[in-house]
Chains A and B, each alone.
Chain A
């Protein structure tokens, strides 16, 4: 598979003259950092989906809103596409540059502008790191709830653009549930306030629309987030299982008992062993699956819920149930989970992280399907699962230096996502479509629905200059992808790479 921009399938890009663009931007923005040498642009050629690289034509690093506005107006006038990038940790290639486009890097907007502990809000620039918000709020007993695994590095602007999740979403929601307001600048250079510090705003819910819009509708220049009081008590229970299916059923049993855990995570044996080897979290390496169940809130309730969860887990056939003794052990249990991706990365030269979401009841069927795809392809798959909200992260292990393995991994990944759609789920829970899942969008949506997505895009950016080729496939791409898909089913060797 080649996910790089393809004008035949993704639509023509406007003809761009790199020299003239550089000159015009230099003239319009003499004080702004504008990288144009190959050496300077090199670090920006990919985001977290590092298998794909494109050298951006120019890299702009503005520091003021005026510079962003002028940059956008100039690019709009010149018909030059703009790809926005935050910290570059995205896993779906949402910030993959264009050869004929400007990469707008927002990382210098890294200041916390206001933190009001009584109002429980923080107003921050988009380049502020996710974790930095919670760190700044900590002296007031407050924190910012969404905690994607990359929270040390990922920035809040990117979190909004991807509607990032994390391990506490079932109870505390995604980014969209924790942001009150945005300042954005449109492709035409117009500033707009979306949402407000009140709990609602007049008109359409553009705040929700911008979450997960992957830099296609406007540039986020400021984010006002909600802060929550840190729970009085948080406990983590780790349960081991000798069978994945039993662990999956235990998840439903906890929720059926009327308990909404702060976090509910599941890992399979390969992921457990990788994490234990890397972090020494104290995981049982012989278990087929573990569940990590975090209960948080008012102390008395947490104690009661812990007791009930222990009973439910015992009933569900857990082979061991351990309550973290103290905060240090709790942090260690979580560290294993939060480092599962790099831990799995140590088992294999490369890995490919998927991000499907399914109704939880379909977990046994989907895990079985993944195991079959793994056997068929010969590629190992480790499963890390936000079990509480049905968000599955299969990690496909491969070696890019072996001819055809990347393509094989992508083919297995694509089929896992199609399986998610088949059982009523989605191709992306929290990582976004970007370029990575552009073809699978055709499996999830009908042409008429994709047409509506294009209509929304055109309402904000009729000339299609913001992040072209991401998030929403063209109907031409879907026609081609659909055709190849059918063709593939007729092939005698389904393990062969499709693209």
Chain B
């Protein structure tokens, strides 16, 4: 841990940007890579980076929050739980329901991995709520892109480019996020339905004014969440029937705490991101569908190549969530790969930011 980052009397609000910039400039000067580290909860998500840590957890605190503007600006090392607590106190939330994967999750890790929870198909993903970022460039300069306004098309959208880029293009030190009010009412339910029937119903409801904000299927049951005004939730609750489901189901799904995700299961865990209408994929293993079918979790011993091929044929891609997978992410085609390399080379010419985290040559 960087000794500078840990010091300071109040760890709730601490600005160590200057030290972070100095570390980056030094690393760039020496051509030595850095592993950008937050709470370490999502280290498993990606290839391992063998380099000294740039600890972000000392750079924390909310720099600006005005609930009426629906925007919060927060330093990257701020614990995600703390941000969510402060938003909830004002009746607001991060609509994309980011997974924490542990108590130490930070805002920076949330943005860098770009992972979103069950509400994603209806609300949008992390990237849809990122309005601006502060970034440390390879030469240690502290830059600002985007801002706190909802609409901004000045220059290229660097803020969304670095969202989900896993720290390979720069160090995110601060992010401005659009936030939204908490729903007025919510109801979760469970319907006993085979997969095909569940998918047909979801397709139908998708074209109707049903206030769905989560839909998952596993082992013969469809799990739904309704959110909105009290009257519409009540009306749809009566219409859909089923048995009432504890809303904590969605947290457990998001955090991979359901029995399906049992870490003791020796079979690798795969995430298949496919069009929600894709037919069931002919792959052996256990399935859990989220995002109304657009995110499909698979426990399977099948070879990576077979799983990737099936996902690609269905119009999507597959990611291996089991720690220490050799290549967790689907390889890019040659033209895309070329432009990825060129972006990396232009923004991080010495390759100091999380080298190899996404792909071997990035």
Known: A431-B153, A459-B346. A198 touches B315 (CB 8 A): yes
Instruction: Please determine whether A229 and B332 come into contact, CB atoms closer than 8 angstroms.
Output: no
B339 touches A186 (CB 8 A): yes
Cβ of B184 within 8 Å of any chain A Cβ, yes or no, is yes
User: CB-CB < 8 A to A388: which residues of B?
Assistant: 150
Cα(A342)–Cα(B228), bound, Å: 38
With a CB–CB cut-off of 8 A, which chain A residues contact B150? 169-170, 357, 388-391, 429
Which listed segment binds A: B23-31, B36-44, B140-148? Answer: B140-148
B151 touches A169 (CB 8 A): yes
Assuming the contacts A173-B124, A300-B231, asked whether A453 and B346 have C-beta atoms less than 8 A apart, the reply is no
For residue A412, CB closer than 8 A to chain B, the reply is no
A298 CA to B227 CA, complexed, in Å: 11
Residue among B137, B182, B331, B336 making CB contact with A452, cutoff 8 Å: B137
Q: How far is the CA of A201 from the CA of B127 in the complex (A)?
A: 13
Once the chains bind, are A452 and B143 in contact (CB under 8 Å)? yes
In contact, A427 and B154 (Cβ under 8 angstroms): yes
Knowing A229-B208, A298-B232, A360-B68, say if A456 contacts B124 (CB, 8 Å): no
Question: Does the CB pair B141–A448 fall under 8 Å?
Answer: yes
Contact status of A229 and B209, CB under 8 A, knowing A360-B68, A456-B347, A459-B345:
yes
The complex places the Cα of A456 from the Cα of B128 at a distance, in Å, of: 21
Indicate if the CB atoms of B154 and A205 lie closer than 8 Å. Answer: no
Tell me the minimal C-beta distance from A477 to chain B in angstroms.
14
A173:B128 contact, CB within 8 angstroms: yes
In-complex Cβ contact of A449 among B69, B124, B127, B143 (8 A): B143
Indicate whether A73 reaches chain B with its CB closer than 8 angstroms: no
A209-252 contacts to B (CB < 8 Å): 209, 211-213, 229, 231-232, 252
Provide the bound-state CA to CA distance between A173 and B179, in Å.
Answer: 13
Q: Which residues of A contact B (CB under 8 A)?
A: 116-121, 140-142, 162-163, 165, 169-170, 173-174, 176-177, 186, 190-194, 196-206, 208-209, 211-213, 229, 231-232, 252, 255-256, 258-260, 297-301, 303-305, 357-361, 386, 388-391, 424-433, 437, 441, 444-446, 448-450, 452-453, 455-460, 471-472
In the assembled complex, the Cα of A432 lies from the Cα of B151 at a distance in Å of 11
Asked if B213 is an interface residue, CB under 8 A from chain A, the answer is: no
For window 120-154 of chain B, which residues contact chain A by CB distance below 8 Å?
120-121, 124-125, 127-128, 137, 141, 143-145, 147-154
Which A residues lie within 8 Å of B229 (CB)? Answer: 297-298, 300-301, 304-305
Are A198 and B151 CB-contacts (below 8 A) given A177-B124, A212-B157?
A: no
**A252 and B68 in contact, given A198-B294, A202-B329, A208-B160 (Cβ under 8 angstroms):** yes
Q: How far is B152's CA from A207's CA once the two chains are assembled, in angstroms?
A: 16
Q: Evaluate whether A208 and B67 lie within 8 angstroms (CB atoms) in the complex, with A203-B340, A458-B346 already known.
A: no
CB <8 Å contact, A200 and B125 = yes
Q: Is B160 a contact partner of A205 (Cβ separation < 8 A)?
A: yes
Whether B154 pairs with A424 at a CB distance below 8 angstroms is: no
- B53-61, B78-86, B271-279 - interface stretch: B271-279
Residues of A close to B148: CB separation below 8 A: 359, 424
- B49 part of interface (Cβ distance < 8 Å): no
Name 23 A/B residue pairs within 8 A (Cβ), A-sorted.
Answer: A165-B151, A176-B157, A176-B160, A193-B333, A197-B275, A198-B317, A199-B125, A199-B273, A202-B317, A204-B165, A206-B161, A212-B156, A229-B207, A256-B68, A297-B229, A303-B231, A359-B69, A389-B151, A424-B148, A425-B147, A432-B153, A456-B347, A458-B346
Chain A residues, Cβ within 8 Å of B158: 452-453, 456
Interface size for chain B: under 10, 10 to 19, 20 to 34, or 35 or more residues?
Answer: 35 or more
Which of B207, B209, B343 interacts with A456 by CB under 8 Å? B343
Given A300-B235, A359-B148, A389-B150, A441 contacting B155 (CB threshold 8 A): yes
Chain B residue at minimum C-beta to C-beta distance from A390? B149
Known interface pairs A252-B68, A389-B150, A433-B155; A191-B137 also in contact (CB < 8 Å): no
A198 touches B144 (CB 8 A): no
The 5 A-B pairs with the shortest beta carbon distances in the complex, nearest first, are A301-B229, A208-B160, A300-B231, A429-B151, A198-B316
CB distance from A136 to the nearest CB of B (A): 15
Interface residue? B70 (CB, 8 A): yes
* Contact across chains for B152 and A428 when beta carbons are under 8 A apart: yes
Q: How far is the CA of A197 from the CA of B275 in the complex (A)?
A: 5
- CB proximity of A468 to chain B, nearest CB, Å: 15
B203 within 8 A of A: yes
Q: Which residue of B lies closest to A227 (CB)?
A: B207
Asked whether B127 lies within 8 Å of A208 as measured between CB atoms, the reply is yes
User: Is there contact, CB below 8 Å, between B154 and A199?
Assistant: no
Beyond the given pairs A196-B316, A301-B211, A452-B347, 17 more chain A to chain B contacts, judged by CB atoms under 8 angstroms and listed by A's residue number, are A192-B333, A194-B336, A196-B317, A199-B125, A200-B114, A202-B319, A202-B331, A203-B332, A208-B160, A208-B161, A211-B157, A213-B157, A256-B68, A297-B232, A425-B149, A449-B145, A460-B339
Q: Shortest CB–CB separation between residue A357 and chain B, in angstroms?
A: 4
Q: Is B181 on the interface with A (CB-CB < 8 A)? A: yes
List of A residues within 8 angstroms of B295 by Cβ: 199
Shortest distance from the beta carbon of B265 to any chain A beta carbon, whole Å: 25
Q: Which of B145, B149, B158, B161 has the most CB of A within 10 A?
A: B149
Which of B91, B137, B161, B345 is in CB contact (< 8 Å) with A205?
B161
A72 to B351, CA, bound (A): 31
Chain A residues positioned under 8 Å from B333 (CB to CB): 192-193
CB contacts (< 8 Å) of A428 on chain B: these are: 152-154
**Closest chain A residue to B330, Cβ basis:** A202
Q: State in angstroms the CA–CA spacing of A445 and B154 once bound together.
A: 9
Query: Nearest B residue to A258 by beta-carbon distance?
Result: B181
Q: Roughly how many angstroms separate A199 CA and B137 CA in the complex, as a whole number?
A: 29
Closest chain B residue to A218 by CB distance? B339
B297 at the interface (CB under 8 A from A): no
Q: Which residue of A lies closest to B120 (CB)?
A: A199
B241-285 with Cβ < 8 A to chain A: 273-277
The reply to whether the CB of B194 lies closer than 8 angstroms to some CB of chain A is no
Q: CB of B354 within 8 A of chain A? A: no
- Within 8 Å of chain A (Cβ to Cβ): is B11? no
Q: Chain B 326-362 against A: per-residue CB contact (8 Å), 1 yes, 0 no?
A: 0001111101101110110111000000000011000
B200 → A minimal CB distance (Å) = 9
Q: Is B66 an interface residue (CB 8 A)?
A: yes
CA distance A215 to B131 in the complex (A): 22
Asked if A460 contacts B207 (CB within 8 A), the reply is: no
Q: Least Cβ distance of B137 to chain A in Å? A: 6
Residues from chain B with a CB closer than 8 A to the CB of A441 are 154-155
**Cα distance A160–B154 when bound, in Å?**
14
Q: Which residues of A contact B291 (CB under 8 A)?
A: 199
